[in-house]
Structure 1
């Protein structure tokens, strides 16, 4: 079996230089670095990652607890997290939210040795928060946050709800239905609050009739749409609390023979990449920054892992309206 000693001999450098190339390549002279890398290729050398992690007291692995993949937002953020981590030399163990019961998922994560934890699946009053703090491992929340704070990055969810609702009211819509998820999640809690504020400011009632809570699955969204279309006074506009919900709504309305926005206007939140697809052209509210929340979160987490003295990160990013083709003005 090829050893680092063999690599050092072929490259004409010391064994400690080989070690630095593997662990702190930025501190190695470019010429020596290239010689070592070439020697590794010629000898087909594979460093022992377990031994390296024991020496450095690092596993070079991160646990990601992601929301459900039926929401493209989490597909995009998971992709960003995995790709960026790989660039920085970390492997990512991905776990997915078990809607309504995450304890088994959390238990699996807490039993593993990792350098950091990144999660979007946390609830506002999630009992796992104290357990995460006990681990003495850096952890970062994104998209959602916990009542007790901690490290997180999020969009301004209240402002997103306000902006979406203000846009519909500016187009003369008064009969507006909000479709969201459980208020145990700060994303839905904040976006509903923004909706409620603007509706009441404009003298419009908010009740169970026009604020529908779902589990965000396609089946649940279809059930809601069937129910609201069956009513005598159907809405002229729908505020979907995520783009994922909005896309399910759009698909179901088209299947039922309705036209968007001619029959019903529709707006979402998140500004996922899919929302700009020519088949959707979804009006939505999203962050000003080009980076998604997963990207911002993983950058901050790795900085915490490598610089433990860093202060707590709590960032709430502003939002903007992205007007496309699914909303229109109606006659007052």
Structure 2
């Protein structure tokens, strides 16, 4: 649109679509009482005319805003608990939440604007420079929850003290007498995984404990990584007596691999997870893990998104909440230590 061109109005869109201004307003504000074909026609015209709802000019606070929450992959325990925090915070704030899988369709951000969204919260989703530009053109604020990669300096994010968590988990195992401790983590390039691994290495180095290259393995934050990674670690000539897993799902895969091989947890091998999802509490034995305040992180992301949607200044681009070691029944002194005279 040229700088001196007249701004497209709802009335212009209504005339082009052959509907009332009220109908166009319902589409813009995400109301559900519009026929699908009519909604699609109006949204296409909104895109063609590069229309942005007035609320994105931040002239006044938004009443009862709608926030889009996007996640990638399956609806796992980690995601479910962060979503619970987002939904609870939205209810307290009078906001609405729409949950969807991350979309990469053309003009996806413009579609969100046309549907009345006021901000986006990304959970375990990876946003490229192109995606960020699309959001910026649309005027949609973005908050990334527990980012997998270092976000652009313009992006707001919420995470946890991953390095401190890795440090605490490893120190716990060292305090029990373990020295052969392995780290089995998620993607090697993921920022949260790197921080947990560096916390592990820092604790091992401070204690003078050796970290063979074979004791540090990367994978995905999945049960399958726990199964295959633990199998490889236990096949070593000098296998670890303890494994610090990058999340609870990996840890449960480690426990299962130990069980299949006739090893008992924690008598024969100790296991520590990360996240403290419901899986850790329901595991057998219950899992020692590093608690991420997942629901609190979701709430912080929602509140940040609302402030950005209202044009408020947010002091910090990244918020970190504290982690905490939760000791349960999956860790114990190594067998050789307990059997020594």
* TM-score of the pair, normalised by structure 1: 0.72
Aligned residues of 1:158 and 1:193 also touching (Cα < 8 A): yes
Give the match for residue 299 of structure 1. Answer: 303
Shift in alpha-carbon separation, 1:192–1:267, aligned structure 2, 3 A:
same
Distance 2:291 2:162 in 1: 10
Give the match for residue 319 of structure 1. Answer: 323
Give the match for residue 27 of structure 1. Answer: none
Give 3-state SS (helix, strand or coil) of 2:178's partner: coil
1:151 aligns with 2:128: no
Give the match for residue 186 of structure 1. Answer: 191
Once the two structures are superposed, residues 179-202 of structure 1 have per-residue CA deviations (whole angstroms, 9 ceiling, x without a partner) of 111132211011011111122222
Give 3-state SS (helix, strand or coil) of 2:271's partner: strand
1:50 aligns with 2:50: no
Q: What pairs with 1:9-158 in structure 2 (closer than 5 Å)?
A: 49-50=26-27, 60-69=65-74, 71-85=76-90, 88-95=94-101, 104=104, 108-109=108-109, 111-113=111-113, 114-122=117-125, 128-144=131-147, 146-149=150-153, 150-158=155-163
Aligned residues of 2:109 and 2:140 also touching (Cα < 8 A): no
Give the match for residue 328 of structure 1. Answer: 332
Q: Structure 1 residue 124: deviation in Å? A: 9.6
Q: Structure 1 residue 157: deviation in Å? A: 0.8
Give the match for residue 37 of structure 1. Answer: none
Structure 2, unaligned runs of 5 or more: 1-24, 31-52, 57-61
Paired residue for 2:174, among 169, 174, 180? 169
1:247 aligns with 2:224: no
Aligned residues of 2:88 and 2:299 also touching (Cα < 8 A): no
1:263 aligns with 2:268: yes
**Cα RMSD (Å) of the superposition?**
3.1
Give the match for residue 216 of structure 1. Answer: 221
Aligned residues of 2:85 and 2:295 also touching (Cα < 8 A): no
Aligned residues of 1:85 and 1:92 also touching (Cα < 8 A): no
Once the two structures are superposed, residues 52-95 of structure 1 have per-residue CA deviations (whole angstroms, 9 ceiling, x without a partner) of 56686779432223253364111211233245435623231321
Shift in alpha-carbon separation, 1:297–1:291, aligned structure 2, 3 A:
same
Distance 1:316 1:169 in 2: 26
Shift in alpha-carbon separation, 1:185–1:67, aligned structure 2, 3 A:
farther
Q: Structure 1 residue 307: deviation in Å? A: 4.6
Q: Structure 1 residue 309: deviation in Å? A: 3.8
Q: Structure 1 residue 209: deviation in Å? A: 0.3
Once the two structures are superposed, residues 281-313 of structure 1 have per-residue CA deviations (whole angstroms, 9 ceiling, x without a partner) of 2111124x6843122211221232235344444
Distance 2:185 2:171 in 1: 17
Aligned residues of 1:125 and 1:146 also touching (Cα < 8 A): no
Q: Structure 1 residue 220: deviation in Å? A: 3.0
Q: What pairs with 1:199-238 in structure 2 (closer than 5 Å)?
A: 199-238=204-243
Aligned residues of 2:273 and 2:287 also touching (Cα < 8 A): yes
* TM-score of the pair, normalised by structure 2: 0.71
Q: How many residues align structurally?
A: 278
